[in-house]
Structure 1
């Protein structure tokens, strides 16, 4: 089994962050999962999973290409992916789908996600428990229980461009404002 199949280099686990995958792209030139896995020295499955996450965040796009042996997935950076990350984050926050019976309640919940976004941007790497300790008290969005609040906030915060949810562990990071 090769190092790529194991996802290790020299016996140590190789971290695969969305930022590391994006850095492997040369502008808007397409890359295959295999070429990225080889360049990054990680398993193809991990590269594919990370690329799909980046697609969900609109940082990458994909196209299935027919070749003589079947199909190949080509990943590429969309033309607008180079746009201002802060603008894309603001647009995503404004368009978030949140639960609520009234527009006022939905606005309140969008504000809670925005507050969590601003917290991770301003504070740098943030452990999950810090959101409920420092953001929830002032932005509870109608929730009495911080865990239920976090269940509403976390998946929406993960959708915001420039925010990286924890791949392993509990640390959230941001590329916005760098």
Structure 2
């Protein structure tokens, strides 16, 4: 059961770095394991919160080639699932850099918040409430939202755990419609990374209050 690391931003335009130039094939594309038919759903599922993401970041989260991810992103923009915009940042040397990012529409985030309503001031609960989850029905999405909550609660109460330890402790009572624990972890893992206070380090997950 593998742990995926966060991707590096892919910038384009003024003052781009060598690591941020092309969205086409590269060594980073080797080892991707998503079938072509699954790329659009995998790309959609990479957007678990309000954070904008670059092609490179989505490619890592979706475990798919960047050129295929770029096509999937445009498909999702065309159908209204995502929004696309250009941003400009300034690095430490004062060089302006432009990047194209994709993000969930505000209406989608409001809908997610309504589905997983939480008390004001609960940063963890709010982050989970705003996450996008796969599922054809609200009930299925809520099951998967509850699975992430259960993992966070496990880390809070029982301390650090490996991926295997989390699956052993939480998957059974919170399988969330998944028959396979690996598929369940593929859903939980990227969302767990977006929960405030959750840290992944040296093969272990822990919650820091």
CA–CA separation in structure 2 for the residues paired with 1:66 and 1:147: 39
1:130-169 Cα deviation digits (max 9, x unpaired):
1111100000000111111001001001110110123x4x
Task: Give every structure 1 segment of 4 or more consecutive aligned residues whose post-TM-superposition deviation is greater than 3 Å.
Answer: 63-67
Q: Alpha-carbon deviation of 1:102?
A: 0.3
Tell whether 2:71 aligns with 1:71: no
How do 1:4-153 residues align onto structure 2 when only pairs under 5 Å count? 64-65=89-90, 70-71=94-95, 87-153=122-188
Tell me if 1:172 matches 2:196: no
Report the secondary structure of 2:125's partner residue: helix
Query: How far apart in 2 are the matches of 1:105 and 1:174?
Result: 26
For residues 179 and 91 of structure 2, the distance between their equivalents in structure 1, rounded to whole angstroms, comes to: 52
Relative to structure 1, is the Cα distance of residues 96 and 66 closer, same or farther in structure 2, using a 3 angstrom cutoff? closer
Q: Deviations over 1:118-139 (max 9, x none)?
A: 1111111111101111100000
Unaligned runs of 5+ residues in structure 1 are 1-55, 57-62, 74-85
Structure 2: segments with no counterpart, 5+ residues: 1-50, 52-87, 98-120
CA distance in 2, matches of 1:144, 1:158: 23
1: CA distance, partners of 2:181 / 2:91 = 49
Q: Which has the larger radius of gyration?
A: 1
Higher normalized strand content (fraction of residues):
1
Deviations 1:36-82 (A, max 9, x none): xxxxxxxxxxxxxxxxxxxx6xxxxxx94488x64289xxxxxxxxx
- In the aligned structure 2, how far is the partner of 1:120 from the partner of 1:109? 17
The two structures, once aligned, show a CA RMSD in angstroms of 2.4
How many correspondences in the alignment? Answer: 100
